[in-house]
């Protein structure tokens, strides 16, 4: 029964090609689930090649949106959730970039330096003097530390 569940988990990636990239409902969350399975079974139940293909899809999606919405000069990767550019960990840039930097994903070092690092630097520049970050890119209100 566990093997059947793992097979179904692997095939979830093929159900909806328009799934978002964010942590809670998207590709990064899916990758987290795949890594969780491998870690807790103590062996590679999910092929690393499958995980890396999803990472590539996330990077390509981020590059495409960055170019399409004219962010490329500021951030080579950009992601949206319901037409908003969230900054936080749950639906936003921080969560996606955090997972892309995890060693277990084995993202190509060149892509980490040319795509992920400048995108993280862009997010770091959004910090308010208070230490807070905006919930979305176009929100200039310094209200709280936003997790979403």
Give the annotated binding-site residues for Zn(2+): 148
Q: CB of 63 within 8 A of CB of 57?
A: no
Closest CA to 44 of 53, 34, 52, 54: 34
Is 68 in a helix, a strand, or coil?
helix
Sequence ranges of the binding site: 148
Is 38 in a helix, a strand, or coil?
helix
Q: How far apart are CA 81 and CA 21, in angstroms?
A: 8
């Amino acid at each position: 029964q566990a093997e059947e569940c793992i097979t179904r988990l692997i095939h979830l990636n093929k159900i909806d090609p328009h799934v978002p990239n964010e942590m809670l409902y998207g590709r990064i969350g899916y990758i987290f689930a795949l890594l969780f399975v491998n870690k807790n079974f103590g062996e590679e139940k999910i092929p690393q090649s499958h995980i890396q293909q999803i990472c590539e899809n996330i990077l390509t999606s981020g590059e495409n949106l960055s170019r399409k919405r004219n962010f490329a000069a500021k951030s080579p990767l950009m992601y949206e959730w319901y037409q908003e550019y969230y900054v936080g960990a749950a639906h936003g840039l921080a969560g996606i970039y955090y997972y892309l930097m995890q060693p277990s994903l084995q993202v190509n070092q060149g892509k980490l330096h040319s795509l992920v690092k400048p995108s993280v630097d862009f997010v770091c520049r959004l910090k308010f003097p208070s230490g807070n970050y905006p919930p979305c890119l176009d929100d200039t209100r310094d209200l709280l530390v936003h997790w979403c």
